[in-house]
A and B are shown apart, each in its own frame.
Chain A
Amino acid sequence: MSEIPGDLKFLKSHEWARVEDNGQVTVGISDHAQGLLGDLVYVELPNIGDTITLGGAVAVVESVKAASDVYSPVSGKVVAVNDALSDKPETINEDAYGEGWIFVVAPDDMDQMADLLAPDDYAELLEDEGH
């Protein structure tokens, strides 16, 4: 498994969030999550302008094996989506924390981010989850 970048925060449901310099939040799924799903073949993106809420299902990632909802780590408005995933969903398999980002939110309340897991806590969660 690849290293977890230190500037990310996580939901227990395996989404990552990164606060950008402009205060917007980029969201994707973790490398662990893409590994569980296997080869991704389809990503259903939200629409720019959609109002989303913390914990709400915003996108869907589908592998050959299963479909999985992607939950939002923060409430706000969708300001960007990664259209490149429509043609190359496997980008998430290849670079979950980089080119495989899914959408960007302009958050209503940045304090919500405080409840997310730090990288070390997320890594610990993965340890506990099994193997």
Chain B
Amino acid sequence: MTQKTIYNETHRALGAKMVDFGGWDMPIHYGSQIEEHHQVRRDAGMFDVSHMTVLDMRGSGVRPFLRMLVANSVEKLTKPGKALYSCMLDGNGGVIDDLIIYFMSEDFFRVVVNAATRDKDVAWITAQAAPFKIDIKERRDLAMVAVQGPNARDKVLSLLTPDAAAAAKKLGKFVAVEADGMFVARTGYTGEDGFEIMVPETQAVEFWNRLLAAGVKPAGLGARDTLRLEAGMALYGQDMDESVSPLEAGLAWTVAFDEGRDYTGRAALEAQQAKGVPRQMIGVVMDEKGVLRHGQAVFTAAGEGEILSGTFSPTLGKAIALARVPAGEIGAVEVDIRGKRVPVRPVKYPFVRDGAAQPGV
């Protein structure tokens, strides 16, 4: 049974082409994926991300539980509203999911996990949480809208009451605040500034329509994917899953080996590090015409790998991709496209940040 967000009728009324995404009926675009992409890079766009799973965790055991659950260290979270991106690992160091943890108060953390992995995540988290005596509640009553782009914050602030706007305006990156009964976080998945906003379903459609009236254009999951890939952000299921560790997925920066914290997967990660991490994530750009796609074979001096996320970058006008290849010096890189070996350039990602191509890309 396909699930629908509170915005389903709204999307259809706006002419969206709907697709199944992890069991959810979601808009892939509202006419042109590429125009929606540019709209976000140049002005402001909004995405319905209500399909994502919000879990509120309460109790004095939550911090000790999260210390054990995820690879990044929740000890970094001391100020209310601060967010932390992390992977949740299994005992082998494989990635069960990536998630964001918001610190609300010492006995209240909010965790956002992916939609497509919801059942697996909830089962894992519930089982792991049992000894910690914490209360976990899924917030299906909250819709979520990501408003992204260079003008996104100003447009959102213009819709808030003065006090709420002042509080939201002050937010540093990766921090959230309650404002006008909504939860406003300065986070995103596009490489642009903006907010991700959780809004009670009862007010959700009205809020969307106010954003629309303020000139924020709707953008679908298609644009969301090209934007996040340009920004060098990993997509669970495509760039990482249980078969790889975060160290092989370009996510070492999200892994903390802080003293005395025995989290699930730590021993496996330390063993992998001691032996040498066998694979690495690289970014590639193709100057020839064509499109890089998931699953294409990649050839390097270090050996063969594959394209994970690949797409046409609307900002650069050429194909970009993340690839997993063996560790070591990679030398010249080629990709097999329909039986033909095409040269690609390894580059540092993100490919695009704050509207502009990054140096060397």
A39 and B290 contact, Cβ closer than 8 Å, known pairs A60-B338, A64-B222, A64-B312: no
Alpha-carbon distance A67/B293, docked complex (angstroms): 9
Q: List 30 A-B contacts (CB under 8 A).
A: A38-B17, A38-B28, A38-B29, A38-B32, A38-B33, A38-B222, A39-B32, A41-B34, A41-B291, A41-B312, A42-B289, A42-B290, A42-B291, A42-B312, A44-B290, A60-B338, A62-B291, A62-B312, A64-B33, A64-B34, A64-B222, A64-B226, A64-B312, A64-B314, A65-B28, A65-B33, A67-B291, A67-B293, A67-B338, A86-B289
Instruction: Check B222–A62 contact: CB distance below 8 A.
Output: no
A-B contact count (CB 8 A): 36
Min CB gap A90→B, angstroms = 8
Instruction: Check B290–A62 contact: CB distance below 8 A.
Output: yes
User: A88-119 toward B: CB 8 Å interface, digit per residue (1/0)?
Assistant: 00000000000000000000000000000000
Enumerate chain B residues within 8 angstroms of A44, measured Cβ to Cβ.
290
Enumerate chain B residues within 8 angstroms of A60, measured Cβ to Cβ.
338
User: A51-95 toward B: CB 8 Å interface, digit per residue (1/0)?
Assistant: 000000000101011010000000000000000001000000000
Number of residues of chain B lying within 8 A (CB) of chain A: 16
Most chain B CB within 10 A, of A42, A65, A67, is at A65
B311 within 8 A of A: yes
Beta-carbon contacts under 8 Å, B18-73 to A: 28-29, 32-34
Taking chain A's interface residues, is the majority helix, strand, or loop, or is none over half, making it mixed?
strand
In the complex, besides A42-B312, A62-B290, 18 extra interface pairs with C-beta distance below 8 angstroms are A38-B17, A38-B29, A38-B32, A38-B33, A39-B34, A41-B34, A42-B290, A42-B291, A62-B291, A62-B312, A64-B34, A64-B222, A64-B291, A64-B311, A65-B33, A67-B291, A67-B293, A86-B289
Residues of chain A touching chain B, judged by Cβ–Cβ distance below 8 Å, are: 38-39, 41-42, 44, 60, 62, 64-65, 67, 86
The residue in chain B whose Cβ has the minimal distance to the Cβ of A41 is: B312
Enumerate chain B residues within 8 angstroms of A65, measured Cβ to Cβ.
28, 33, 222
Most chain A CB within 10 A, of B32, B33, B34, is at B34
Enumerate chain B residues within 8 angstroms of A41, measured Cβ to Cβ.
34, 291, 312
Min CB gap B244→A, angstroms = 25
Alpha-carbon distance A127/B129, docked complex (angstroms): 51
Min CB gap B111→A, angstroms = 31
The residue in chain B whose Cβ has the minimal distance to the Cβ of A39 is: B34
Alpha-carbon distance A15/B127, docked complex (angstroms): 53
The residue in chain B whose Cβ has the minimal distance to the Cβ of A89 is: B289
Min CB gap B307→A, angstroms = 13
Beta-carbon contacts under 8 Å, B286-336 to A: 289-291, 293, 311-312, 314
The residue in chain B whose Cβ has the minimal distance to the Cβ of A69 is: B338
Question: B33 contacts which of A39, A62, A67, A86 (Cβ < 8 Å)?
Answer: A39
Min CB gap B300→A, angstroms = 23
Min CB gap A87→B, angstroms = 10
Min CB gap A9→B, angstroms = 27
Min CB gap A37→B, angstroms = 11
Enumerate chain A residues within 8 angstroms of B17, measured Cβ to Cβ.
38
Min CB gap A71→B, angstroms = 15
The residue in chain A whose Cβ has the minimal distance to the Cβ of B311 is: A64
Min CB gap A68→B, angstroms = 11
Min CB gap B73→A, angstroms = 37
Alpha-carbon distance A65/B294, docked complex (angstroms): 11
Enumerate chain A residues within 8 angstroms of B29, measured Cβ to Cβ.
38
Min CB gap A65→B, angstroms = 7
Enumerate chain A residues within 8 angstroms of B289, measured Cβ to Cβ.
42, 86
